[in-house]
Homo-oligomer: A and B are copies of this chain.
């Protein structure tokens, strides 16, 4: 059965497995103090044009979010995000568990709008009793968003401007960064991400690795003690070189960017098929996640060919589903899925 329900249902790119095999008998220093981590960080800082950044490796996305938010915010400060933000709805209240409020605004095409962010920040600044509400100190966004959409360079710059105006951090969750950078029409580069944020992470789990996220802290004011925060959050992998190897392999020859392009190209074929059948849902996604509404009969028919993710009921008793490609999605799989879409009952 073809799995398109998410982008973390296969192992890793072969180079990673091969290197893990080759190095299996070698002995390394623990806790990311090894040469592979150093090498990976060199590649990443070069690719992101941020030579002075601090790079750390974390096993998964929730850990990365929680460790950074706990690290950067003071107790009375909150993270502003769109209502559909991952930290707000898909992490079992992990952000609140370590003490911080997610202050939400309605999503615009899945994204946090600079005007909405400004309204929250300005609202606090003008509050007659500011100490009764949390101080919005961080803007949290995902690139791409939960809806698969990407921020334009202008949108990111607008967010940055608000952050500068109000002394806020811009934190970018890049769990699917490879797919965002490879999005159709995207005008944002990895150096832009690094330049415009205070910290961001490069997703490995969903983008070619077995697991792992590379946290890049570009704002040197919040870099100290991050290893302490990692250990406290339980995110310091004992055999840290396993993360170093993965990111070294993803970044040494631009493989990370290539992976993104492949997955997006596959997604575009599915998108075209869904669109032709009038099943595609707004906002249109230029990345590896495609959302559609299908009838019960259509859902059953799709289920003969592939596994998609059921996202909930839509209007008129429709079913919202997600098709998710990844670096591992093959042409043959997409051929079969496209054929299935074309053959769906009305």
CA distance A66 to B75 in the complex (A): 12
Query: Is A93 within 8 A of B100, CB to CB?
Result: yes
Name the B residues within 8 Å of A132 (CB-CB): 90-92, 231
Interface membership of A238, Cβ < 8 A: yes
With A17-B21, A242-B210 already in contact, the answer to whether A97 and B232 are too (CB < 8 A) is yes
Query: Is B17 within 8 A of A238, CB to CB?
Result: no
Interface membership of A30, Cβ < 8 A: yes
Query: Is B232 within 8 A of A92, CB to CB?
Result: yes
Interface membership of A339, Cβ < 8 A: no
With A231-B92, A231-B131 already in contact, the answer to whether A59 and B24 are too (CB < 8 A) is no
Query: Is B75 within 8 A of A232, CB to CB?
Result: yes
Query: Is B90 within 8 A of A101, CB to CB?
Result: no
With A10-B27, A234-B63 already in contact, the answer to whether A97 and B99 are too (CB < 8 A) is yes
Write the nearest CB–CB distance from A303 to chain B, whole angstroms: 14
Query: Is A98 within 8 A of B98, CB to CB?
Result: yes
Of A10, A11, A133, which is in contact with the most chain B CB atoms at under 10 Å from its CB? A11
With A21-B17, A76-B228 already in contact, the answer to whether A8 and B238 are too (CB < 8 A) is yes
CA distance A96 to B232 in the complex (A): 9
- Of the residues B94, B211, B231, contact of A234 by C-beta under 8 Å: B94
Interface membership of A182, Cβ < 8 A: no
Query: Is A9 within 8 A of B28, CB to CB?
Result: yes
Query: Is B231 within 8 A of A91, CB to CB?
Result: yes
A 44-83 binary contact with B (CB < 8 Å = 1; else 0): 0000000000000001111101110011001110100000
Query: Is A211 within 8 A of B97, CB to CB?
Result: no
A 16-57 binary contact with B (CB < 8 Å = 1; else 0): 010011011111111100000000000000000000000000
Residues 199-252 of A contacting B (Cβ, < 8 Å): 205-206, 210-211, 225, 227-239, 242
CA distance A76 to B91 in the complex (A): 10
Interface membership of A297, Cβ < 8 A: no
Query: Is B62 within 8 A of A236, CB to CB?
Result: yes
With A20-B11, A27-B3, A131-B227 already in contact, the answer to whether A233 and B90 are too (CB < 8 A) is no
Query: Is A24 within 8 A of B20, CB to CB?
Result: no
Interface membership of A343, Cβ < 8 A: no
Name the B residues within 8 Å of A76 (CB-CB): 92-93, 225, 228-229, 232
| Residue in B closest to A228 when the chains form the complex, CB atoms | B76
Binding site for B on A (CB under 8 A): 1-3, 6, 8-12, 14, 17, 20-21, 23-31, 59-63, 65-67, 70-71, 74-76, 78, 89-102, 128-135, 205-206, 210-211, 225, 227-239, 242, 310, 328
